[in-house]
Structure 1
Amino acid sequence: MPPSSPPPETATCTTCTFADDFSNYWTAILYFRARNGTYIRVPQKQNLGFEQANGGMTVYYIPGYLPNSKVTAFAPGFRMLIGNPNYRTMKEAMQFRQLTYTCLQNILTRTGETLDMPTKPCAAGIMSNVRFPTCWDGKNLDTPDHMSHVAYPVMGMFETNAPCPASHPVKIPQLFYEVIWDTTSFNKKELWPEDGSQPFVWSQGDKTGFGNHGDYVFGWKGDALQKAMDTNCDRCPQLRSQSLAEGNKCAKARMVREDIDGWLDSIPGQPMEENHH
């Protein structure tokens, strides 16, 4: 979708609880690989407080944790990507230390984040965490690599009001995805590979977890997001909202009738990568 087609002008509905948010949020799909080499899609699991929602992605816009933290909302046409789907090593993944996994012991677990996929069964599923950069160059709504126009703080963290680099002086909201994958059906170790390695694979063929990545296309109507950032609100009563049931109605009809949740001989469109060094 070109920048000339902003989501608020082309979308007819939104799945978000804030009714003026027509942004696009995306991550890869997770698969389980059985011992016989077949695959099945891992379903998402709803986060706490969103049990009636379809899907398991929770999106946060964080204005800052310290008093007087000022952020500028994204501009119409803005988009960005974080992560590299082709990364397969810890050294590569260190470039994106803000992309992590949490092995959930229960729905409230928020400690023990790792850069690679959990190597043991997780009692309540796996949560992938995607934290986008919080500094913008103030000029480009996008760049050819979808990343160069944004950056992380030069030192410290966004949470502590760390300064932005001179090349990217505009502080933007901390955009944060929590995606919960319901891996609990696959927790029996006898289902895992005989060599004890973890069995989960991203849809781009990555079984290391280092290729975690997320995409974002801004799509809030008017100045709604800026108002929310200025008031540092949580549920933001000043914004238009809708029920989860209403959001669930916003779904695109299938264009191809195909069983997408059965066992597959291979990941759609991707050859499986056997060795990573």
Structure 2
Amino acid sequence: MKWSPLALALAGPSQAALRFGCSTVSIQRLDPVVQPGMVPSSHVHQIVGGNAFNATMTGDIGEQGTCTTCTFSEDFSNYWTAVLFFKHQNGTYKRVPIMQNTALPNGITGGMTVYYTQQDFNSNGNQKITAFKPGFRMTVGAPTTETLPEAKGHIGLRFVCLDNKGTRFPELPDFPTKSCKGGIMTVHHFPSCWDGKNLDSPDHQSHMYSTTKEAFQAAGPCPASHPVRMPQLAYETLWDTTQFNNMWPSDGSNPFVLSYGDSKGYGTHADYIFGWKGDSLQRAMDSSCMFNACENGRPLKSQGVAEMNKCAIKSSVTENIDAWLPKLPGM
């Protein structure tokens, strides 16, 4: 059968949707995107992914890592967010640990959930998705965001007060104002429209354009300035705040603070450095699999929880981040 150009366009491939877990590779004050080479960086980050993570990351990260904490063993990317702390009424701080999503295999240490979707949470799409390139990096959100209207304008950067690990609504632009029975989830949706030229930009954001809508809804079309549709990258991080529920302040004020001193949550942000090996992510985006159906070589190589948890890096910063602390690290 001879296909016309129109028919070929209408018969576009069904694109993959990936959802997978990554255990913790490190928790420390390093930020190779915003503060490259600075040891220590200004605030503590929760980091997952490949073991090539360090203060200065250049070149093809997919060829530099030797292990990864993520389900897909070809993914040496790094994904990180600011750490959440609990502030006691006596003025001391305690780091809040993260916990795995119910959709992930049991036993993951930490358990950030990563998504690369094409259309929305429930279905594949039919657009051509171009995978990120070696050397690509970006951030979303900004710790300098200081007002609620600004926070509301950062579509896709939200908090969820969990009744249980399966709770997904409502999404809030700032910290919950009550103790949450199942913990707090932070959600970070990155922009998915690329200018087609720059692997980074001075602000780590302007080479990308966001048409993201709330709660994994299908994103809008890319503009002419940023015409290349890339995967919709998102993180879900579940913070185990339940251990602090009986310490909630008597005046009802929010006791949680992000590691750079934000007690409202307005400046929630996240960083990404691409590190998939070879053409593995593009092969996945060209397939029609969804979630764990993409594992075990269909089309991506995957690994078990023990291998994920085994991968780690030594901290470059010597400081105690786990005791009750008189002040936030770096503050």
Same fold (TM over 0.5): yes
Picking from 107, 116, 119, the partner of 1:52 is 107
SS at 2:98's partner residue?
coil
Instruction: Tell me whether 1:62 sits opposite 2:120 in the alignment.
Output: no
Distance 1:253 1:33 in 2: 27
Report Cα offsets for 1:117-146 as digits up to 9, x if no partner: 011111110000000001110110000000
Which of 90, 98, 101 does residue 156 from structure 2 map onto?
Answer: 98
Match of 2:95 among 24, 41, 58: 41
Q: Which moved more, 1:250-259 or 1:224-233?
A: 250-259
| Matched letter for residue 299 of structure 2 | Q
CA gap of 1:162–1:264, structure 2 versus 1, over 3 A, is same
The percentage of counterpart residues that share the same residue type is 54
Partner of 2:39: none
Paired position in structure 2 for 1:240: 301
Unaligned runs of 5+ in 1: 271-277
Checking the alignment, whether the CA contact within 8 Å between 1:66 and 1:161 is kept in structure 2 is: no
TM-superposed CA distance for 1:254, in Å, is: 4.1
- Residue deviations 1:40-95, cap 9 Å, x none? 00011111123211113110110224541321111111100000012121122133
Measure, in 1, the Cα distance between the counterparts of 2:212 and 2:117. 19
CA distance in 2, matches of 1:115, 1:254: 32
| Alignment match of 1:227 (pick from 263, 280, 283) | 283
Q: Offset at 1:196?
A: 1.3
Structure-2 change in CA distance of 1:66 and 1:247 (3 Å): closer
In the alignment, residue 31 of structure 1 is paired with which amino acid? F
- AA at the equivalent of 1:87: T
Gaps of 5+ in 2: 1-31, 33-55
Q: 1:121 to 1:4 in 2, by over 3 A?
A: closer
The one of 9, 20, 34 aligned to 2:74:
20
Of 246, 267, 272, which aligns to 2:328?
A: 267
2:74–2:280 Cα contact (<8 Å) kept? yes
Q: CA deviation at 1:253?
A: 2.7
In the alignment, structure 1 residue 171 sits paired with structure 2 residue 229 = yes
**Equivalent position amino acid for 1:41 in 2:** R
SS in 1 for 2:286: helix
Counterpart contact for 1:66–1:160, Cα < 8 Å: no
Name the CA distance, whole Å, in 1 between partners of 2:173 and 2:255.
16
Give the CA RMSD over aligned residues. 2.0
Tell me: CA distance 1:83–1:41, structure 2 relative to 1, closer, same or farther (3 Å): same
Match of residue 195 from structure 2: 137
Residues 137 and 156 (structure 1), Cα distance of their counterparts in 2 relative to 1, 3 Å cut:
farther
Higher relative contact order (CA 8 A, sep 6+): 1
TM-score, length-scaled by structure 2: 0.76
Counterpart for residue 197 of structure 1: 253
Q: CA deviation at 1:243?
A: 0.7
Q: Secondary structure at the match of 2:110?
A: coil
Contact 1:136 1:150 in 2 (8 A): yes
Q: Check 1:194–1:7 CA distance in 2 against 1; reply closer, same or farther (3 A cut).
A: same
**Displacement of 1:157:** 9.4
SS at match of 2:249: coil
